[in-house]
Chain A
């Protein structure tokens, strides 16, 4: 067991309104951790997750990756390993396959190749056949779009997934597809870990081993029943 990501007294303040969004937070994510964070909207769950993805600048404190702070030039590389998935899937114009190939056009990932075999396997976990690859991204349902966004991330074999309510807007079937995909990814390597932010307490219990709660910017443990 080793620490993948560590935060030290990480805080974030909304500068315009002078409101604390995240109180000083010390947190460690080890490999093989399955963490869920629940809490009401506006409690700071997303703020914390986005800070871990380095998408928003923290006001103070540190984020360490394998024990080291991340240099500016390393940030894209970090994000390709510590993958953030938002609640609203953003797909580009074109087919599903175009969307899945997109990450390989980025400089950080240019040395890697699109692997049709791996993608087909992933699609299988979500109950989709290879025909699905040729669908137009604009014609997908919200659930299908989220499945595509998730596969787009999972094919890159990230170390850590930061899941920002990925199933909040989905029907039960799509939610199960998403859960199945994440279970399969997690089982693929013992060094992987994820943080799942959710509204759904049942889902949090089902998917995670460590259950945390966010309330007014304070992250705390929830006693296991």
Chain B
């Protein structure tokens, strides 16, 4: 490889930059000292751990090693998407995992089989980072979508019941909340797509360039990834919002507002 390898000393120098944050915290009495230390330790430990784990997985490139890892990543993404937001309902975790799982695996499959066409499909060098990037963004979309949906349903309760009382169906009553929630879930991806390359250079592309890839080739990959991300987070958001809708509106065209609970 034609790039500079980093030694432990190099990482130590970079890590010492956290002292700047520490000094600021002391100076401004932010009281963040412990949290900073904890965050720094987590960064190092988690990344080293995943580095060794991936190193190991790359050596044993069998589907029965890669697939469980992909499942674990997806499950964690689904669970952390469910863990946000002020309100929840019974079954939110299941909805969140289902929508993250369905959308990210569908889109990753398209990416691996139809676009990149690698053999075997579970080649960890491709499958894991691509799924990871898709999951990270889908998770944001899903959690924002569910959060906005529950918020709209809480604040719009009177309007929803008014529509039902006039003879509207449950779909007509929920439509506005669904629309707002899907929009909220898709905005981060849309923002990212409009500024990519101008304001931000995505990590993957930067990584490929650092590793010696020509920027033009790196950009092609990035374009593909952006579209995969956009598709998956849109699908995931819509899925999550519709699942929430099904939980909170009964087939009797009732709004089951009691199911919404503050966390």
Measured CA separation A106–B168 after assembly (Å)? 6
A contacts with B, residue count (CB < 8 A): 30
Q: Chain B residues near A53 (CB, 8 Å)?
A: 165
> CB of B223 within 8 A of chain A?
no
Q: Is the CB of A106 within 8 A of B252?
A: no
What mask results when residues 233 to 263 of chain B are scored 1 for a CB within 8 Å of chain A, else 0?
0000000000000000011111100100000
Q: Chain B residues near A88 (CB, 8 Å)?
A: 158
A106-155 interface with B by 8 A CB criterion: 106-109, 149, 152-153
Q: Is the CB of B254 within 8 A of A80?
A: no
> CB of B169 within 8 A of chain A?
yes
Query: A16-B258, A55-B254, A57-B254 are known contacts. Are A76 and B165 too (CB-CB below 8 A)?
Result: no
Measured CA separation A54–B255 after assembly (Å)? 10
> CB of B166 within 8 A of chain A?
yes
Measured CA separation A88–B156 after assembly (Å)? 12
B167: contacting residue among A55, A85, A92, A106, CB under 8 A? A106
> CB of B163 within 8 A of chain A?
yes
- Measured CB to CB, the nearest residue on chain B to A81 is B167
Q: Is the CB of A57 within 8 A of B166?
A: no
Query: A16-B258, A86-B158, A90-B161 are known contacts. Are A76 and B250 too (CB-CB below 8 A)?
Result: no
A22-70 interface with B by 8 A CB criterion: 53-57
A80: contacting residue among B167, B172, B255, CB under 8 A? B167
Q: Is the CB of A55 within 8 A of B166?
A: no
> CB of B162 within 8 A of chain A?
yes
Interface range for B: 10 to 19
Measured CA separation A84–B166 after assembly (Å)? 8
> CB of B192 within 8 A of chain A?
no
Q: Is the CB of A55 within 8 A of B165?
A: yes
Q: Chain B residues near A85 (CB, 8 Å)?
A: 165
Q: Chain B residues near A106 (CB, 8 Å)?
A: 163, 166-169, 172
B143-176 interface with A by 8 A CB criterion: 158-159, 161-169, 172
Q: Is the CB of A83 within 8 A of B252?
A: no
Measured CA separation A84–B168 after assembly (Å)? 12
Query: A55-B254, A57-B250, A72-B253 are known contacts. Are A109 and B167 too (CB-CB below 8 A)?
Result: yes
Query: A57-B250, A57-B254, A106-B163 are known contacts. Are A76 and B158 too (CB-CB below 8 A)?
Result: no
- Measured CB to CB, the nearest residue on chain A to B255 is A55
- Measured CB to CB, the nearest residue on chain B to A77 is B167
> CB of A103 within 8 A of chain B?
yes
A-B contact count (CB 8 A): 69
Measured CA separation A80–B164 after assembly (Å)? 9
- Measured CB to CB, the nearest residue on chain A to B168 is A106
Which of B161, B162, B250 gathers most chain A CB within 10 Å? Answer: B162
CB distance from B212 to the nearest CB of A (A): 56
Query: A76-B167, A108-B168 are known contacts. Are A86 and B161 too (CB-CB below 8 A)?
Result: yes
Q: Is the CB of B164 within 8 A of A55?
A: yes
CB distance from B257 to the nearest CB of A (A): 9
CB distance from B256 to the nearest CB of A (A): 8
Measured CA separation A80–B253 after assembly (Å)? 13
Q: Chain B residues near A84 (CB, 8 Å)?
A: 165
CB distance from B39 to the nearest CB of A (A): 39
B252: contacting residue among A16, A54, A80, A152, CB under 8 A? A54
Measured CA separation A90–B258 after assembly (Å)? 20
Which of B169, B252, B255 gathers most chain A CB within 10 Å? Answer: B252
CB distance from B92 to the nearest CB of A (A): 17
CB distance from A96 to the nearest CB of B (A): 15
CB distance from B159 to the nearest CB of A (A): 5
> CB of A216 within 8 A of chain B?
no
Q: Is the CB of A56 within 8 A of B254?
A: yes
Q: Chain A residues near B168 (CB, 8 Å)?
A: 76, 106-108
Measured CA separation A103–B165 after assembly (Å)? 10
Query: A80-B167, A106-B167 are known contacts. Are A86 and B162 too (CB-CB below 8 A)?
Result: yes
Q: Chain B residues near A218 (CB, 8 Å)?
A: none
Extra inter-chain contacts (8) besides given A79-B164, A80-B167, A83-B166, CB under 8 Å? A53-B165, A76-B167, A79-B165, A79-B253, A84-B165, A90-B158, A106-B168, A109-B167
- 22 A-B residue pairs with Cβ-Cβ distance under 8 Å, sorted by A, are A16-B258, A53-B165, A54-B253, A57-B254, A76-B253, A79-B164, A79-B165, A79-B166, A79-B253, A83-B165, A84-B165, A86-B161, A86-B162, A92-B159, A106-B168, A106-B169, A107-B169, A108-B167, A108-B168, A108-B169, A109-B166, A156-B167
